[in-house]
Structure 1
Amino acid sequence: MDKDFSLEKKNFIETYNLARPIMTILGDQVRQEILLALIESGGMGGIRVGEIQKKSHVSRSAVSHHLKVLLDAGIINMRREGTKNYYYIDFDDTTVKPVILFWQQVEPMLKRCSKESEKRL
């Protein structure tokens, strides 16, 4: 295995390790429905728990729990207006970027690993 490939592989694994906790959080079906509801809202100032609950068909308490997980992970944001909380996705300020970077690197790494395997045969 050459040094360049070893370094590429090491960097790829580091990217994966940064993305893994976020991918785990995003792996939950209810959270995916919540994210879809947030996306469908168009990000226009955010939406409230009740609106998300109607779109996701999940109980209000479950929505609140999953929103907290998404908030704590930095995947979504919240703004408060008096006693009302509005949830939204701010793509410039989200922790999903390592996941995007990881998936952008998958195809090139697959090709590189394939070439390295062929060299050993």
Structure 2
Amino acid sequence: KIADSIIAFFQNPENILMIERLKSYGVQLEKGENTNEVLSNVLENKTFLFTGKLLLFTRDDAEAMVEKHGGKNISAVSKNLNYLVVGEKAGSKLKKAQDIGTIEILDEQQFLDLLGTPS
């Protein structure tokens, strides 16, 4: 059953497009890929923090995407944070970011949109 599910997943063209899109944003899908490659500077001088359960990518992949596009990951909500990317069940970090008022709060898709559509 598992093998059939995997085959069905990869036969769906929408799933292939999603995988290609994630790869273009810098998600590392294979061990040994060049993890230091800079893809763009679209996030240059911007800071990011991820909170909650992410569904479209792992936290490590998300942080790698930030770095591959020139941004910086920080570990706490502060006035130095530009973007808080929230997954499911975001908690105190979301509340603190809302209280600060200057931090842009994004969902996972909005984060991907920031990276731009590859040409």
- Pairwise TM-score range, normalised by the shorter structure: under 0.3
How does the TM-score come out when normalised to structure 1?
0.27
Structure with greater contact order relative to length (CA < 8 Å, sep ≥ 6): 1
Structure that is richer in helix per residue: 1
Structure showing greater Rg: 1
